Structure 1
Amino acid sequence: MELLDAFVARSLEEVRFWSRIMKEHSLFLRLGFRCEDTVLINEANHFYATFENIESRANRFTLNEDPNVIRRFNDEVHVAVSHIWLFKRKVLGLILTCQLPGANNFPLLVDHVSREANYFRNRLMELNTGRLEPLPDAIIDENVFFLRIMADHAKFISHLLDPSERKLIDQANQFSADFDQLLFQARDLESMRPQSQTVPLLDQFLDQNRVSVKSLRDFKKTARDLIEACRIKSIIHPLLADHVFREAEHFLFIIDMFENSLTGKTAHQ
Protein backbone atom coordinates (compact mmCIF):
# COMPACT_ATOMS: atom_id res chain seq x y z
CA MET A 1 0.00 0.00 0.00
CA GLU A 2 2.84 2.39 0.80
CA LEU A 3 5.94 3.09 -1.26
CA LEU A 4 9.27 2.27 0.35
CA ASP A 5 10.16 5.91 1.02
CA ALA A 6 6.74 6.43 2.64
CA PHE A 7 7.34 3.28 4.72
CA VAL A 8 10.60 4.74 6.07
CA ALA A 9 9.02 8.13 6.79
CA ARG A 10 5.97 6.65 8.54
CA SER A 11 8.08 4.20 10.54
CA LEU A 12 10.46 6.88 11.81
CA GLU A 13 7.57 9.21 12.59
CA GLU A 14 5.82 6.53 14.69
CA VAL A 15 8.96 5.33 16.48
CA ARG A 16 10.21 8.83 17.26
CA PHE A 17 6.85 9.85 18.74
CA TRP A 18 5.96 6.67 20.62
CA SER A 19 9.43 5.76 21.90
CA ARG A 20 9.50 9.11 23.72
CA ILE A 21 6.02 8.37 25.09
CA MET A 22 7.15 4.92 26.32
CA LYS A 23 10.25 6.46 27.92
CA GLU A 24 8.12 8.97 29.79
CA HIS A 25 5.64 6.28 30.88
CA SER A 26 8.57 4.54 32.56
CA LEU A 27 9.35 7.72 34.49
CA PHE A 28 5.73 8.34 35.52
CA LEU A 29 5.28 4.77 36.75
CA ARG A 30 8.53 4.98 38.71
CA LEU A 31 7.40 8.21 40.38
CA GLY A 32 4.22 6.44 41.50
CA PHE A 33 5.94 3.47 43.15
CA ARG A 34 6.71 3.38 46.88
CA CYS A 35 10.36 3.75 47.91
CA GLU A 36 10.45 0.08 48.99
CA ASP A 37 9.36 -1.13 45.53
CA THR A 38 12.99 -1.37 44.42
CA VAL A 39 12.47 -4.21 41.94
CA LEU A 40 9.71 -2.30 40.13
CA ILE A 41 11.73 0.92 40.26
CA ASN A 42 14.72 -0.84 38.70
CA GLU A 43 12.51 -2.33 35.98
CA ALA A 44 11.06 1.11 35.22
CA ASN A 45 14.59 2.57 35.04
CA HIS A 46 15.59 -0.23 32.66
CA PHE A 47 12.69 0.59 30.34
CA TYR A 48 13.49 4.30 30.52
CA ALA A 49 17.05 3.59 29.34
CA THR A 50 15.82 1.16 26.66
CA PHE A 51 13.43 3.64 25.08
CA GLU A 52 15.82 6.55 25.46
CA ASN A 53 18.27 4.52 23.38
CA ILE A 54 15.58 3.65 20.79
CA GLU A 55 14.51 7.29 20.57
CA SER A 56 18.10 8.42 20.08
CA ARG A 57 18.73 5.87 17.33
CA ALA A 58 15.46 6.72 15.58
CA ASN A 59 16.44 10.39 15.53
CA ARG A 60 19.76 9.53 13.86
CA PHE A 61 18.13 7.71 10.94
CA THR A 62 17.36 9.70 7.77
CA LEU A 63 14.54 9.42 5.26
CA ASN A 64 17.06 7.93 2.80
CA GLU A 65 17.64 4.90 5.03
CA ASP A 66 17.47 1.41 3.53
CA PRO A 67 13.90 0.15 4.16
CA ASN A 68 15.30 -3.25 5.21
CA VAL A 69 17.33 -1.56 7.96
CA ILE A 70 14.20 0.23 9.18
CA ARG A 71 12.18 -3.00 9.01
CA ARG A 72 14.74 -4.73 11.28
CA PHE A 73 14.73 -1.72 13.59
CA ASN A 74 10.92 -1.87 13.81
CA ASP A 75 11.16 -5.56 14.74
CA GLU A 76 13.63 -4.73 17.51
CA VAL A 77 11.41 -1.93 18.82
CA HIS A 78 8.40 -4.27 18.69
CA VAL A 79 10.16 -6.65 21.10
CA ALA A 80 10.95 -3.80 23.52
CA VAL A 81 7.36 -2.51 23.38
CA SER A 82 6.01 -6.01 24.03
CA HIS A 83 8.18 -6.20 27.14
CA ILE A 84 7.07 -2.84 28.52
CA TRP A 85 3.44 -3.82 27.79
CA LEU A 86 3.92 -6.96 29.93
CA PHE A 87 5.51 -4.86 32.68
CA LYS A 88 2.57 -2.46 32.68
CA ARG A 89 0.03 -5.29 32.85
CA LYS A 90 1.99 -6.86 35.73
CA VAL A 91 1.90 -3.57 37.62
CA LEU A 92 -1.83 -3.25 36.97
CA GLY A 93 -2.36 -6.73 38.41
CA LEU A 94 -0.37 -5.86 41.54
CA ILE A 95 -2.44 -2.72 42.09
CA LEU A 96 -5.79 -4.41 41.53
CA THR A 97 -4.91 -7.22 43.96
CA CYS A 98 -3.94 -4.63 46.59
CA GLN A 99 -0.26 -5.62 46.64
CA LEU A 100 0.98 -2.03 46.34
CA PRO A 101 -0.97 -0.20 49.08
CA GLY A 102 -0.05 3.46 49.25
CA ALA A 103 1.46 3.62 45.76
CA ASN A 104 0.30 6.51 43.58
CA ASN A 105 -0.38 5.02 40.15
CA PHE A 106 -4.10 4.95 39.36
CA PRO A 107 -5.22 1.58 37.91
CA LEU A 108 -6.83 3.42 34.98
CA LEU A 109 -3.56 5.23 34.29
CA VAL A 110 -1.62 1.96 34.20
CA ASP A 111 -4.25 0.41 31.92
CA HIS A 112 -4.11 3.58 29.78
CA VAL A 113 -0.34 3.40 29.27
CA SER A 114 -0.58 -0.31 28.49
CA ARG A 115 -3.20 0.40 25.81
CA GLU A 116 -0.81 2.88 24.23
CA ALA A 117 1.99 0.28 24.25
CA ASN A 118 -0.32 -2.21 22.56
CA TYR A 119 -1.31 0.41 19.97
CA PHE A 120 2.38 1.13 19.27
CA ARG A 121 3.33 -2.50 18.74
CA ASN A 122 0.32 -3.03 16.46
CA ARG A 123 1.39 -0.03 14.38
CA LEU A 124 4.90 -1.46 14.04
CA MET A 125 3.49 -4.80 12.90
CA GLU A 126 1.15 -3.12 10.38
CA LEU A 127 4.01 -1.07 8.95
CA ASN A 128 6.37 -4.05 8.63
CA THR A 129 3.78 -6.33 7.02
CA GLY A 130 2.28 -3.59 4.86
CA ARG A 131 -1.18 -4.58 6.08
CA LEU A 132 -2.65 -1.19 6.92
CA GLU A 133 -6.40 -0.94 7.43
CA PRO A 134 -8.59 0.47 4.64
CA LEU A 135 -9.15 4.20 5.19
CA PRO A 136 -12.80 3.97 6.40
CA ASP A 137 -11.89 1.36 9.02
CA ALA A 138 -8.76 3.24 10.09
CA ILE A 139 -10.73 6.48 10.57
CA ILE A 140 -13.19 4.83 12.96
CA ASP A 141 -10.70 2.63 14.81
CA GLU A 142 -8.11 5.36 15.37
CA ASN A 143 -10.75 7.78 16.62
CA VAL A 144 -12.24 5.19 18.99
CA PHE A 145 -8.76 4.62 20.40
CA PHE A 146 -7.72 8.27 20.71
CA LEU A 147 -11.07 9.59 21.95
CA ARG A 148 -10.77 7.20 24.89
CA ILE A 149 -7.19 8.35 25.47
CA MET A 150 -8.35 11.99 25.52
CA ALA A 151 -11.23 11.18 27.91
CA ASP A 152 -8.73 9.44 30.22
CA HIS A 153 -6.41 12.45 30.15
CA ALA A 154 -9.21 14.75 31.30
CA LYS A 155 -9.96 12.38 34.20
CA PHE A 156 -6.29 12.20 35.22
CA ILE A 157 -5.95 15.99 35.17
CA SER A 158 -9.08 16.34 37.32
CA HIS A 159 -7.80 13.84 39.89
CA LEU A 160 -4.23 15.15 40.04
CA LEU A 161 -5.15 18.80 40.53
CA ASP A 162 -5.33 19.97 44.12
CA PRO A 163 -8.95 19.78 45.37
CA SER A 164 -8.84 23.54 45.94
CA GLU A 165 -8.43 24.18 42.19
CA ARG A 166 -12.20 24.00 41.81
CA LYS A 167 -12.54 25.89 38.53
CA LEU A 168 -9.90 23.87 36.69
CA ILE A 169 -11.33 20.62 38.07
CA ASP A 170 -14.77 21.62 36.75
CA GLN A 171 -13.24 22.28 33.33
CA ALA A 172 -11.40 18.95 33.31
CA ASN A 173 -14.57 17.11 34.35
CA GLN A 174 -16.50 18.80 31.54
CA PHE A 175 -13.89 17.66 29.03
CA SER A 176 -14.13 14.15 30.47
CA ALA A 177 -17.91 14.14 29.96
CA ASP A 178 -17.60 15.60 26.45
CA PHE A 179 -15.08 13.00 25.33
CA ASP A 180 -17.06 10.16 26.87
CA GLN A 181 -19.98 11.28 24.67
CA LEU A 182 -17.75 11.50 21.59
CA LEU A 183 -16.45 8.02 22.35
CA PHE A 184 -20.00 6.65 22.60
CA GLN A 185 -20.80 8.28 19.25
CA ALA A 186 -17.69 6.77 17.70
CA ARG A 187 -18.62 3.33 18.98
CA ASP A 188 -22.12 3.75 17.54
CA LEU A 189 -20.56 4.55 14.16
CA GLU A 190 -18.26 1.55 14.63
CA SER A 191 -21.17 -0.85 15.23
CA MET A 192 -23.06 0.53 12.22
CA ARG A 193 -20.25 -0.22 9.78
CA PRO A 194 -19.86 -0.85 6.89
CA GLN A 195 -23.13 1.00 6.19
CA SER A 196 -21.94 3.98 8.27
CA GLN A 197 -18.72 4.41 6.29
CA THR A 198 -19.93 7.03 3.81
CA VAL A 199 -17.73 10.00 3.02
CA PRO A 200 -20.27 12.58 4.37
CA LEU A 201 -20.66 10.74 7.71
CA LEU A 202 -16.92 10.14 8.16
CA ASP A 203 -16.15 13.75 7.18
CA GLN A 204 -18.61 15.09 9.75
CA PHE A 205 -17.21 12.64 12.33
CA LEU A 206 -13.69 14.00 11.81
CA ASP A 207 -14.84 17.63 11.82
CA GLN A 208 -16.72 17.22 15.10
CA ASN A 209 -13.84 15.44 16.79
CA ARG A 210 -11.32 18.00 15.56
CA VAL A 211 -13.22 20.87 17.22
CA SER A 212 -13.29 19.09 20.59
CA VAL A 213 -9.67 17.89 20.42
CA LYS A 214 -8.50 21.43 19.64
CA SER A 215 -10.37 22.73 22.70
CA LEU A 216 -8.85 20.05 24.91
CA ARG A 217 -5.40 20.65 23.38
CA ASP A 218 -5.67 24.35 24.25
CA PHE A 219 -6.80 23.52 27.80
CA LYS A 220 -3.83 21.17 28.21
CA LYS A 221 -1.45 23.83 26.90
CA THR A 222 -2.80 26.36 29.42
CA ALA A 223 -2.53 23.82 32.24
CA ARG A 224 1.01 22.91 31.19
CA ASP A 225 2.10 26.55 31.14
CA LEU A 226 0.50 27.22 34.55
CA ILE A 227 2.14 24.13 36.06
CA GLU A 228 5.55 25.04 34.64
CA ALA A 229 5.19 28.55 36.08
CA CYS A 230 4.09 27.11 39.46
CA ARG A 231 0.86 29.13 39.23
CA ILE A 232 -1.57 26.33 40.15
CA LYS A 233 -1.66 23.70 42.89
CA SER A 234 -1.37 20.08 41.75
CA ILE A 235 0.72 16.93 41.94
CA ILE A 236 1.07 16.90 38.14
CA HIS A 237 4.67 16.56 36.97
CA PRO A 238 5.43 19.29 34.38
CA LEU A 239 6.56 16.59 31.96
CA LEU A 240 3.22 14.80 32.34
CA ALA A 241 1.42 18.04 31.47
CA ASP A 242 3.53 18.37 28.31
CA HIS A 243 3.12 14.64 27.57
CA VAL A 244 -0.69 14.80 27.37
CA PHE A 245 -0.48 18.03 25.34
CA ARG A 246 1.75 16.29 22.76
CA GLU A 247 -0.67 13.37 22.49
CA ALA A 248 -3.54 15.76 21.70
CA GLU A 249 -1.36 17.39 19.03
CA HIS A 250 -0.62 13.93 17.61
CA PHE A 251 -4.34 13.10 17.46
CA LEU A 252 -5.00 16.35 15.59
CA PHE A 253 -2.26 15.44 13.11
CA ILE A 254 -3.95 12.06 12.53
CA ILE A 255 -7.39 13.68 12.08
CA ASP A 256 -5.95 16.10 9.50
CA MET A 257 -4.19 13.25 7.68
CA PHE A 258 -7.48 11.31 7.50
CA GLU A 259 -9.38 14.40 6.35
CA ASN A 260 -6.91 15.01 3.55
CA SER A 261 -7.04 11.37 2.43
CA LEU A 262 -10.84 11.26 2.62
CA THR A 263 -11.33 14.40 0.54
CA GLY A 264 -8.69 13.44 -2.03
CA LYS A 265 -6.01 15.87 -0.93
CA THR A 266 -2.42 14.81 -0.29
CA ALA A 267 -1.82 14.02 3.38
CA HIS A 268 1.09 15.98 4.82
CA GLN A 269 3.74 13.91 6.54
Structure 2
Amino acid sequence: MSNEFVIRSLDEVRFWSRIMKEHSLFLKLGFRCEDTHLIHEADQFYHIFEQIEGRSHAFTELTDPEQIRRFNSEVHAAVSHIWVFKRKVLGLIIQCKLPGGNNFPLLVDHVSREANYFRNRLEELNTGRLEPLPDAIIDENVFFLRIMADHAKFIGHLLDPSERKLVEQARNFSQDFDQLLFQAIDLSGMRPQSQTEPLLDQFLDQNRVSVVSLRDFKKTARDLIEACRIKSIIHPLLADHVFREAERFLFIIDMFERCLTRNQVRE
Protein backbone atom coordinates (compact mmCIF):
# COMPACT_ATOMS: atom_id res chain seq x y z
CA MET A 1 0.00 0.00 0.00
CA SER A 2 1.35 3.45 -0.91
CA ASN A 3 0.59 7.11 -1.33
CA GLU A 4 -0.26 6.42 -4.99
CA PHE A 5 -2.83 3.84 -3.89
CA VAL A 6 -4.53 6.42 -1.65
CA ILE A 7 -4.58 9.11 -4.35
CA ARG A 8 -6.00 6.81 -7.00
CA SER A 9 -8.57 5.32 -4.63
CA LEU A 10 -9.87 8.71 -3.55
CA ASP A 11 -10.03 9.90 -7.16
CA GLU A 12 -12.10 6.89 -8.21
CA VAL A 13 -14.43 7.02 -5.21
CA ARG A 14 -15.02 10.76 -5.43
CA PHE A 15 -15.85 10.63 -9.12
CA TRP A 16 -17.92 7.45 -9.23
CA SER A 17 -19.79 7.86 -5.94
CA ARG A 18 -21.20 11.12 -7.32
CA ILE A 19 -22.14 9.29 -10.51
CA MET A 20 -23.90 6.53 -8.51
CA LYS A 21 -25.74 9.15 -6.46
CA GLU A 22 -26.99 10.84 -9.61
CA HIS A 23 -28.00 7.52 -11.17
CA SER A 24 -30.28 7.00 -8.18
CA LEU A 25 -31.95 10.35 -8.82
CA PHE A 26 -32.36 9.74 -12.57
CA LEU A 27 -33.91 6.31 -12.00
CA LYS A 28 -36.25 7.77 -9.39
CA LEU A 29 -37.42 10.47 -11.80
CA GLY A 30 -38.16 7.80 -14.41
CA PHE A 31 -40.40 5.65 -12.19
CA ARG A 32 -44.17 5.97 -12.21
CA CYS A 33 -45.76 7.71 -9.21
CA GLU A 34 -47.23 4.38 -8.05
CA ASP A 35 -43.79 2.72 -7.93
CA THR A 36 -43.37 3.86 -4.35
CA HIS A 37 -41.16 0.95 -3.27
CA LEU A 38 -38.69 1.51 -6.14
CA ILE A 39 -38.71 5.25 -5.49
CA HIS A 40 -37.91 4.58 -1.84
CA GLU A 41 -35.06 2.24 -2.79
CA ALA A 42 -33.63 4.82 -5.19
CA ASP A 43 -33.84 7.46 -2.44
CA GLN A 44 -31.95 5.18 -0.06
CA PHE A 45 -29.16 4.66 -2.59
CA TYR A 46 -29.01 8.41 -3.21
CA HIS A 47 -28.35 9.06 0.47
CA ILE A 48 -25.88 6.16 0.77
CA PHE A 49 -23.71 7.49 -2.05
CA GLU A 50 -24.12 11.08 -0.91
CA GLN A 51 -22.63 10.02 2.43
CA ILE A 52 -19.84 8.06 0.71
CA GLU A 53 -19.00 11.05 -1.46
CA GLY A 54 -18.90 13.32 1.59
CA ARG A 55 -16.72 10.93 3.57
CA SER A 56 -14.28 10.57 0.67
CA HIS A 57 -13.53 14.30 0.84
CA ALA A 58 -12.64 13.98 4.54
CA PHE A 59 -9.61 11.84 3.58
CA THR A 60 -6.36 13.18 2.16
CA GLU A 61 -3.38 11.66 0.35
CA LEU A 62 -1.73 11.32 3.77
CA THR A 63 -4.48 9.06 5.11
CA ASP A 64 -3.33 5.61 6.24
CA PRO A 65 -3.57 3.29 3.18
CA GLU A 66 -5.08 0.55 5.34
CA GLN A 67 -7.92 2.88 6.27
CA ILE A 68 -8.52 3.60 2.59
CA ARG A 69 -8.47 -0.11 1.82
CA ARG A 70 -11.25 -0.66 4.37
CA PHE A 71 -13.17 2.31 2.96
CA ASN A 72 -12.85 0.88 -0.57
CA SER A 73 -14.28 -2.44 0.68
CA GLU A 74 -17.22 -0.65 2.25
CA VAL A 75 -17.88 1.30 -0.94
CA HIS A 76 -17.57 -1.91 -2.95
CA ALA A 77 -20.42 -3.43 -0.93
CA ALA A 78 -22.64 -0.40 -1.59
CA VAL A 79 -21.86 -0.48 -5.31
CA SER A 80 -22.67 -4.19 -5.45
CA HIS A 81 -26.06 -3.48 -3.90
CA ILE A 82 -26.92 -0.68 -6.33
CA TRP A 83 -25.83 -2.92 -9.22
CA VAL A 84 -28.34 -5.57 -8.05
CA PHE A 85 -31.03 -2.87 -7.80
CA LYS A 86 -30.34 -1.62 -11.31
CA ARG A 87 -30.45 -5.14 -12.79
CA LYS A 88 -33.73 -5.77 -10.94
CA VAL A 89 -35.22 -2.62 -12.45
CA LEU A 90 -33.98 -3.63 -15.90
CA GLY A 91 -35.70 -7.01 -15.55
CA LEU A 92 -38.98 -5.38 -14.53
CA ILE A 93 -38.90 -3.03 -17.52
CA ILE A 94 -38.00 -5.72 -20.05
CA GLN A 95 -40.77 -7.97 -18.67
CA CYS A 96 -43.26 -5.08 -19.16
CA LYS A 97 -43.96 -4.85 -15.42
CA LEU A 98 -43.41 -1.07 -15.34
CA PRO A 99 -45.52 0.13 -18.31
CA GLY A 100 -45.54 3.88 -18.72
CA GLY A 101 -42.24 4.52 -16.94
CA ASN A 102 -39.61 6.77 -18.46
CA ASN A 103 -36.44 4.74 -17.90
CA PHE A 104 -35.14 3.32 -21.18
CA PRO A 105 -33.94 -0.29 -20.83
CA LEU A 106 -30.63 0.71 -22.44
CA LEU A 107 -30.23 3.51 -19.90
CA VAL A 108 -30.74 1.12 -16.99
CA ASP A 109 -28.29 -1.36 -18.52
CA HIS A 110 -25.88 1.55 -19.10
CA VAL A 111 -25.92 2.67 -15.45
CA SER A 112 -25.52 -0.92 -14.27
CA ARG A 113 -22.43 -1.31 -16.48
CA GLU A 114 -20.96 1.78 -14.84
CA ALA A 115 -21.64 0.33 -11.39
CA ASN A 116 -19.91 -2.88 -12.39
CA TYR A 117 -16.95 -0.88 -13.73
CA PHE A 118 -16.68 1.01 -10.44
CA ARG A 119 -16.88 -2.22 -8.47
CA ASN A 120 -14.08 -3.76 -10.56
CA ARG A 121 -11.87 -0.70 -10.14
CA LEU A 122 -12.19 -0.94 -6.35
CA GLU A 123 -11.25 -4.64 -6.46
CA GLU A 124 -8.21 -3.90 -8.62
CA LEU A 125 -7.05 -1.14 -6.31
CA ASN A 126 -7.45 -3.16 -3.12
CA THR A 127 -5.73 -6.24 -4.50
CA GLY A 128 -3.07 -4.38 -6.48
CA ARG A 129 -3.92 -6.45 -9.55
CA LEU A 130 -3.82 -3.79 -12.26
CA GLU A 131 -3.97 -4.78 -15.93
CA PRO A 132 -0.83 -4.47 -18.04
CA LEU A 133 -0.86 -1.13 -19.88
CA PRO A 134 -1.70 -2.49 -23.38
CA ASP A 135 -4.69 -4.45 -22.02
CA ALA A 136 -5.87 -1.51 -19.92
CA ILE A 137 -5.74 0.85 -22.91
CA ILE A 138 -7.93 -1.41 -25.03
CA ASP A 139 -10.36 -2.45 -22.30
CA GLU A 140 -10.90 1.07 -20.93
CA ASN A 141 -11.54 2.39 -24.43
CA VAL A 142 -14.00 -0.40 -25.24
CA PHE A 143 -15.89 0.45 -22.05
CA PHE A 144 -15.91 4.23 -22.48
CA LEU A 145 -16.57 4.24 -26.22
CA ARG A 146 -19.75 2.27 -25.56
CA ILE A 147 -20.67 4.72 -22.79
CA MET A 148 -20.19 7.66 -25.18
CA ALA A 149 -22.23 5.96 -27.90
CA ASP A 150 -25.04 5.40 -25.41
CA HIS A 151 -24.94 9.05 -24.32
CA ALA A 152 -25.37 10.23 -27.89
CA LYS A 153 -28.39 7.93 -28.30
CA PHE A 154 -29.98 9.16 -25.05
CA ILE A 155 -29.48 12.81 -26.00
CA GLY A 156 -31.05 12.20 -29.42
CA HIS A 157 -34.11 10.58 -27.84
CA LEU A 158 -34.57 13.11 -25.02
CA LEU A 159 -34.30 16.25 -27.13
CA ASP A 160 -37.62 17.47 -28.45
CA PRO A 161 -38.11 16.13 -32.01
CA SER A 162 -38.50 19.72 -33.23
CA GLU A 163 -34.83 20.36 -32.32
CA ARG A 164 -33.97 18.79 -35.64
CA LYS A 165 -30.41 20.04 -36.00
CA LEU A 166 -29.35 18.94 -32.52
CA VAL A 167 -31.10 15.59 -32.92
CA GLU A 168 -29.21 15.05 -36.17
CA GLN A 169 -25.91 15.94 -34.49
CA ALA A 170 -26.61 13.48 -31.66
CA ARG A 171 -27.39 10.72 -34.17
CA ASN A 172 -24.16 11.44 -36.04
CA PHE A 173 -22.21 11.15 -32.81
CA SER A 174 -23.98 7.87 -32.07
CA GLN A 175 -22.90 6.46 -35.44
CA ASP A 176 -19.34 7.76 -35.03
CA PHE A 177 -18.91 6.16 -31.61
CA ASP A 178 -20.52 2.91 -32.73
CA GLN A 179 -17.85 2.69 -35.43
CA LEU A 180 -15.06 3.55 -32.97
CA LEU A 181 -16.41 0.90 -30.60
CA PHE A 182 -16.42 -1.75 -33.34
CA GLN A 183 -12.83 -0.81 -34.23
CA ALA A 184 -11.83 -1.13 -30.58
CA ILE A 185 -13.49 -4.55 -30.36
CA ASP A 186 -11.63 -5.61 -33.51
CA LEU A 187 -8.34 -4.43 -31.98
CA SER A 188 -9.19 -6.33 -28.80
CA GLY A 189 -9.83 -9.50 -30.77
CA MET A 190 -6.40 -9.26 -32.41
CA ARG A 191 -4.58 -9.29 -29.04
CA PRO A 192 -1.72 -9.71 -28.26
CA GLN A 193 -0.45 -9.05 -31.78
CA SER A 194 -2.35 -5.74 -31.96
CA GLN A 195 -0.72 -4.37 -28.80
CA THR A 196 2.13 -2.50 -30.45
CA GLU A 197 2.85 1.03 -29.28
CA PRO A 198 2.32 2.62 -32.73
CA LEU A 199 -1.13 1.01 -33.04
CA LEU A 200 -2.14 1.89 -29.49
CA ASP A 201 -0.88 5.46 -29.93
CA GLN A 202 -2.94 5.90 -33.12
CA PHE A 203 -5.91 4.26 -31.41
CA LEU A 204 -5.80 6.82 -28.58
CA ASP A 205 -5.26 9.77 -30.95
CA GLN A 206 -8.25 8.80 -33.08
CA ASN A 207 -10.52 8.33 -30.11
CA ARG A 208 -9.39 11.59 -28.53
CA VAL A 209 -10.50 13.63 -31.56
CA SER A 210 -14.02 12.22 -31.42
CA VAL A 211 -14.31 12.45 -27.63
CA VAL A 212 -13.26 16.12 -27.68
CA SER A 213 -15.95 16.83 -30.29
CA LEU A 214 -18.61 14.99 -28.28
CA ARG A 215 -17.48 16.67 -25.04
CA ASP A 216 -17.86 20.08 -26.67
CA PHE A 217 -21.31 19.16 -28.02
CA LYS A 218 -22.37 18.02 -24.55
CA LYS A 219 -21.08 21.25 -23.03
CA THR A 220 -23.05 23.32 -25.53
CA ALA A 221 -26.19 21.24 -24.92
CA ARG A 222 -25.74 21.55 -21.15
CA ASP A 223 -25.38 25.31 -21.33
CA LEU A 224 -28.42 25.65 -23.62
CA ILE A 225 -30.53 23.43 -21.36
CA GLU A 226 -29.51 25.36 -18.24
CA ALA A 227 -30.40 28.63 -19.99
CA CYS A 228 -33.76 27.15 -21.19
CA ARG A 229 -32.80 27.92 -24.79
CA ILE A 230 -33.70 24.55 -26.30
CA LYS A 231 -36.66 22.20 -26.00
CA SER A 232 -36.02 18.84 -24.34
CA ILE A 233 -36.92 16.62 -21.40
CA ILE A 234 -33.27 16.39 -20.34
CA HIS A 235 -32.72 17.19 -16.68
CA PRO A 236 -29.98 19.87 -16.36
CA LEU A 237 -28.09 17.59 -13.97
CA LEU A 238 -28.17 14.77 -16.55
CA ALA A 239 -26.69 17.13 -19.14
CA ASP A 240 -23.84 17.96 -16.77
CA HIS A 241 -23.50 14.29 -15.77
CA VAL A 242 -22.77 13.09 -19.32
CA PHE A 243 -20.41 16.03 -19.86
CA ARG A 244 -18.37 15.02 -16.80
CA GLU A 245 -18.12 11.43 -18.04
CA ALA A 246 -16.70 12.63 -21.37
CA GLU A 247 -14.18 14.69 -19.42
CA ARG A 248 -13.31 11.55 -17.44
CA PHE A 249 -12.67 9.61 -20.63
CA LEU A 250 -10.34 12.35 -21.88
CA PHE A 251 -8.50 12.29 -18.54
CA ILE A 252 -7.96 8.52 -18.96
CA ILE A 253 -6.78 8.91 -22.56
CA ASP A 254 -4.29 11.56 -21.40
CA MET A 255 -3.02 9.23 -18.68
CA PHE A 256 -2.50 6.39 -21.18
CA GLU A 257 -0.70 8.66 -23.64
CA ARG A 258 1.70 9.81 -20.91
CA CYS A 259 2.39 6.17 -20.00
CA LEU A 260 3.11 5.27 -23.63
CA THR A 261 5.43 8.27 -23.96
CA ARG A 262 7.37 7.24 -20.84
CA ASN A 263 7.75 3.71 -22.24
CA GLN A 264 9.10 5.09 -25.52
CA VAL A 265 11.61 7.32 -23.67
CA ARG A 266 12.89 4.34 -21.66
CA GLU A 267 13.47 2.40 -24.85
Under a length normalisation based on structure 2, what TM-score does the superposition of the two structures give?
A: 0.98
Deviation (angstroms), 1:170 = 0.1
Who is 2:144 aligned against? 146
Matches within 5 A, 1:202-221: 202-221=200-219
Matches within 5 A, 1:52-71: 52-71=50-69
Aligned to 1:85: 83
Give the one of 176, 179, 187 matched to 2:177.
179
1:245 match: 243
Using the alignment, how far apart are the partners of 1:212 and 1:61 within structure 2?
Answer: 35
Letter in 1 for 2:135: D
1:1-269 equivalences under 5 Å are 4-264=2-262
Matched residue SS, 1:117: helix
Structure 2 residue ranges without an equivalent (≥5): none
The letter for the 2-side match of 1:161 is L
In structure 2, the residue corresponding to 1:57 is in which secondary structure? helix
Query: For 1:123-163, what per-residue CA distance to the aligned partner results, in whole angstroms no more than 9, with x for missing partners?
Result: 00000000000000000000000000000000000000001
Q: Distance between the aligned counterparts of 1:180 and 1:16, measured in 2?
A: 29
Distance 1:114 1:172 in 2: 23
Q: CA deviation at 1:98?
A: 0.1
Deviation at 1:60, TM superposition (A): 1.0
Paired amino acid for 1:234: S
Distance 2:245 2:59 in 1: 23
Residue 64 of structure 1 aligns to a residue whose secondary structure is coil
How far does residue 90 in structure 1 lie from its aligned partner after superposition?
0.1
Task: Find the aligned partners of 1:233 and 1:5 in 2 and give their Cα distance.
Answer: 47
Please, what is the CA RMSD of the aligned residues? 0.6
2:129 alignment partner AA: R
* Residues in 1 aligned to 2:99 and 2:246: alpha-carbon distance in whole angstroms: 32
Q: Deviations over 1:30-80 (max 9, x none)?
A: 000000000000000000000000000001111100000000000000000
Partner SS, residue 102 of structure 1: coil
Structure 1 runs of 4+ aligned residues shifted over 2 Å read none
What amino acid maps onto 2:89 in structure 1? V
Normalising by the residue count of structure 1, what TM-score does the alignment of the two structures yield?
0.97
The whole-number CA distance in structure 1 between the counterparts of 2:166 and 2:100 is 26
Count of equivalent residues: 263
Other structure's SS at 1:225 match: helix
Q: Distance in 2 between the 1:55 and 1:70 partners? A: 13
- What amino acid sits opposite 2:20 in the alignment? M
Cα distance in structure 1, aligned partners of 2:161 and 2:217: 18
